[in-house]
Structure 1
Amino acid sequence: MAPSPTFLRLKGQALVYAVTFCSSVGFLLFGYDLGFMGGLTTSPEFLAVFNNPNASLLGFLVASYEVGAMFGAIFTFIMGDRFGRKPSNIAGAIIVSIGAVLQAATYGLAQFLVGRLVAGFGLGIMTTVIPIWLTECATPKSRGRMMAMQLSNLIMGLIIANWLDYGMSFYPGSVQWRLPCAFQIVFCIIVLGLIPFLPESPRYLCAVGQLDKASIALAALRGGHPDTPEIAAELQEIKYALAVEGEETGSWTDVFKDGGISGSSRVAIAFSANFFQQLSGVNVMSSLGPYVFQHSIGMSQREALLVSGGLQVYYFLSSLIPWYVVDRVGRRRLFMLGSLGMGICMMLSAIFVGIGTRPLGYAAAVVLYIFHTFFTLGWQSNMWVYPSELLPLKLRLRGGALAVVSQWLFTFLVVEITPVMITNIGYKSYIVFAVINFVTIPCVYFCYPETTRLPLEAVDLLFADREGEEGEDGASGGGGGGGVRPSIWRVVKDSTSKEYVAEVQRLLEVRARERAENEEILDRGKMSGVEIEKVA
């Protein structure tokens, strides 16, 4: 038997870690791009270039990046699966680099806005594809942990952005803000240097009919050989899921159809997850932390930069907790716990800022620190992996793109309105975010199925038609037809039942094996027919 295939001389979990590292650099760029503008909003050198813009225009200067990212996600939605996960990431990194050059060379408002839009467009592509690529490469048991590691690097990007802004604030002249703008290119170079040497998603390769390449990529990621039973079985499960999904014709409109697999419902849940994350208020601090500490709590410019930089360090340390709990506790519980904690923190911030004494202002800053612990525990890692786990392969990229459109649309909304909210309604801004966090909890409880540790292909069977009464026969129904479609409430209930989930996984293995055996019989039949023709 030939040796196991490798990439960069790595295989198995070591290769999954390499994919995670490359994905993490892409999300480090994401975090950096979210964070570096926060320091510039309090920089006199930067503000002077744009004639000291008012709160509304300043908010748009920051939020224009989110507009570009939203269009990048829409572009990915329209183009679908034509280019694969790796080429899309490469294109995104190149576009971000072009946008960074435009921003760093700016001498006027129009050029800076174009640079922000272009860089955002590239990042919109990357943030759509990266979570899907990593989710499809990782094992079911480690998906959440790999995503948690990736998201910790997003926070590392925020840390670098905040401390670079703080360090550059001591330098006079335009270098104070031009260097932070140009620094985005460093992360793009790292991504461009790594991606060509890493495997493409085996599931994507199966979807486009490149089964030999899919087998090699999957074997390398699992540390085995293409002919080993475990690799062959996982490949058959992927092919089975593709066959079930392929019974419906594929187009971009499928995200709005049931398609035999509750496609539209699953896309709507993925979209809402991004909505709830952004409306939690987290990007108020990520994108406008120094502005909030200075104008809402009353700190000086340097104090605001220092406290904001410290917040990102604390944020990073908090992000290490999900590494150990995200695949043990489950997505639903963490979503609800995070929203409860964030809601309480935002309510306390409203009280402290509303009273308005300086000591309580600092207490509000402490509460906003704690807010980030609940965010990292409940939503940060979970939200980015959840849509990729929930969506069927046929809709994973387009549905994921719509989810990312939600991410950037509501990030833009929050970043755009926050300076205006703080200026006009003060402490009541925090009440708005508190209410949204509390409303999130029942939505998750009733509408979000559990996906932790489930094979991606098994999730389809949770939503598939079931014979007899609605879901009464357990997992005996199948994808495709004849049965009754379970309600989302029933899917949620069944996804939290260990017995039902175990039956679904067993059913997936059985059906994948039966399909493989049927294909083998058909292949033998075709070969026999050819031999008979030759004899004749």
Structure 2
Amino acid sequence: MGVPAATANNQDASFAHLIDQRRKWYNNRRIITLNAWIVLLLISSSTNGYDGSMMNGLQSLPQWEVAFDNPSGSKLGLLNAIQNIGALAGYPFAPYMSDGIGRRRTVFFGAVIMCIATALQTAAQSVGMFIGARFLIGFGLTFAANAAPMLVTEISYPTYRAPLTSLYNSLWYSGSIVAAWTTYGSFKINSTWAWRLPSLLQGIPSVLQVALVLFAPESPRWLIKKGRDAEALKTLAYYHADGDEQDPLVLYEFGEIKAAIEYDRTVAANVGWKSLVATPGNRKRMRIILALAFFSQWSGNGLVSYYLNKVFDQIGITGSSTQLLINGILQIWNLAWATCAAFMVNRLGRRFLFLVSASMMTLFYMAQAICFAEYAEHGNPASGHAVIAFIFLFYAAYDIAFTPLIVSYTVEILPYNIRAKGFNVFNFVISAALIFNQYVNPIALDAMSWKYYIVYVCWLAVEFIFLWFFLVETKNRTLEETAALFDGEDALEQIAQRGEVAHEVYEHTSEEKRSSGEASGA
């Protein structure tokens, strides 16, 4: 249920007119510094992207095939899926750490585990050791991937929050690009370092986070939740207003955050797992979040993300060098589209991008199925080449919504009190879908060949229908202002109460600062 237009406009104006139009990301030193810290957090996604592309590349390396006895079928599925099994093991603990010790320390904890794991993966002497290392990578990544995007969205300058949070998942492809081109280059190494080098480089983002992340700002929302109001106000002021604690935007943000958290503490005290489905608004949120998590892995993209070499083999492109080259170009293509879409989320809106994405994916996947069938039936090389073209077009469609928005949309529609747990459920569903996908796809592709594509064409049409009926637009709002979109008319009163408290905090804090200034002047 939406809110009346007048209410939405008033909410937009409630903070938009407080923005200093002279303060931009490119001319303000504090915002530049803040965005640099955000980049450090965003690269958590690069580790995940690196893994998917690296495993694609390793399957095209004869050196890796020989070292691990030419894995296929369920063994190959386990090698790909074990990272997500490791992630599943971390999910029961990640939200408690994010809410308990803070976002920064949780990212640090996850990065330490990933550094250890990549060292073990690089030194692997057997399939078992390689699998164990990949399990640890998934386990550590769970903690970093739970805390990092939440910290990004909770510390960003208001006008840049949506694009920066959308960049989190978009930078999945930055790791993917490095992995694709690393495996392409290491193909010429005539030793086990052909696959050990890509394994070693996977740890670079984690090393950077271990060295630097504890110096990054902590979430003001977490600080206020822990009763550290002065630190929260100082953090907001330092990065959002050049250190001015009396800046109207800072006082508004501080007041709104404090009011929302106080409301959650006194009125909605239940923050356990049951709270995710305890109210109609939360049930609406979880329905959308679970669907997006599942759709993100079951839109046909899993075939290319982890089994691109098998697809190439079935359309007559069997050369390892050619396969690796196409994979490398595809990752650059993906990053370009996802990044552009991330910067358009406020202008075009979430709903528009999702609907365009789902409709175009359905069209291009259907075209892939037709071309694949033509090649399988008649062996026409042109049809095989057309499959590659439609893979690129399909990914452009996927990247304009499902890459940038699934994470940013999820964290922004969740109120603070359930954000860590709700986002953890989102990541859990993704891992579960991936594990099933990684086992089923190679088996189904071998058994059904091009007919397997028809299954995904039908499913993509179902995704479009769901998004049309259930996806809610959330652009141009603060994190605290999205409740009315999901919690119905009662939320309007709650928003009003929060606004009154925010105004009181604004007035009270301003009065205190003025009195302090006068006393100092005296």
**The 10-residue stretch of structure 1 (217-226 or 10-19) with the greater mean CA deviation from structure 2:** 10-19
Distance 1:516 1:298 in 2: 65
Alignment correspondent of 2:106: 88
How many residues end up aligned between the 2 structures?
Answer: 479
Q: Which runs of 5+ in 1 are unaligned?
A: 1-9, 468-474, 480-503, 524-536
Query: What corresponds to 2:5 in structure 1?
Result: none
Q: Once the two structures are superposed, what CA deviation does each residue of 1:111-143 show, in whole Å capped at 9, x if it has no partner?
A: 111111001111122122211111111234322
2:272 is aligned with 1:252? yes
- The amino acid across from 2:499 in the alignment is E
Q: Tell me the CA shift for residue 285 of structure 1.
A: 1.9
Alignment equivalent of 1:346, drawn from 353, 365, 382: 365
- Match status 1:165 vs 2:155: no
Deviation at 1:248, TM superposition (A): 2.5
Separation (CA, whole Å) in 1 of partners of 2:342 and 2:427: 23
TM-score, normalising length: structure 2 = 0.86
- CA distance in 1 between counterparts of 2:467 and 2:316 reads 32
Asked whether the 8 Å contact 1:255–1:399 carries over to 2, the reply is no
Aligned to 2:11: none
Letter in 1 for 2:35: Y
Q: What runs of 5+ residues in structure 2 fail to find an aligned partner?
A: 1-27, 513-522
Determine the C-alpha separation between the residues in 1 that align with 2:407 and 2:488: 28
The corresponding residue for 2:61 is 43
SS at match of 1:199: coil
What is the TM-score when the length of structure 1 is the normalising length? Answer: 0.84
> Is the aligned partner of 1:391 residue 2:433?
no
- Offset, 1:433: 2.1
1:205 maps to which residue? Answer: 223
Distance in structure 2 (CA, Å) of the matches to 1:204 and 1:281:
38
Partner of 2:44: 26
Distance 1:332 1:12, change over 3 A: farther
Residue in structure 2 matching 1:277, options 268, 275, 296: 296
Structure 1: how far apart are the matches of 2:254 and 2:401? 32
Query: What does residue range 179-190 of structure 1 map to in structure 2 within 5 Å?
Result: 179-190=197-208
Counting only pairs closer than 5 Å after superposition, residues 411-430 of structure 1 correspond to structure 2 as 411-430=434-453
Q: CA contact under 8 A between 1:237 and 1:512: conserved in structure 2?
A: yes
Residue 106 of structure 1, aligned match among 101, 124, 139 = 124
1:21 CA drift (Å): 1.1
Deviation of the 1:515 alpha carbon: 6.7
Q: Is the 8 A contact 1:42 1:291 kept in 2?
A: no
Q: Deviations over 1:459-517 (max 9, x none)?
A: 123334536xxxxxxx7x424xxxxxxxxxxxxxxxxxxxxxxxx6x775345225777
* Greater mean alpha carbon deviation, residues 347-356 or residues 75-84: 75-84
Q: Contact 1:327–1:453 (CA<8 Å) still a contact in 2?
A: yes
1:116-127 mapped onto 2 (5 Å cutoff): 116-127=134-145
1:80 CA displacement: 5.3
Please tell me whether the aligned partners of residues 98 and 147 of structure 2 are also in contact (alpha carbons under 8 angstroms).
no
Task: Please name the residue that 1:490 is paired with.
Answer: none
Verify: 1:293 aligned to 2:312, yes or no.
yes
> For 1:373-388, what aligned pairs fall within 5 Å after superposition?
373-388=396-411
1:325-344 to 2 correspondence within 5 Å?
A: 325-344=344-363
CA distance in 1 between partners of 2:310 and 2:343 (Å): 33
Q: Which moved more, 1:42-51 or 1:157-166?
A: 42-51
CA distance, structure 2, for counterparts of residue 332 and residue 518 of structure 1: 39
| SS of alignment partner, residue 335 of structure 2 | helix
Secondary structure at 2:449's aligned position in 1? coil
Alpha-carbon separation, structure 2, partners of 1:166 and 1:95? 27
Return the alpha-carbon distance in structure 1 between the equivalents of residues 283 and 145 of structure 2: 21
Q: Which amino acid aligns with 1:284?
A: L
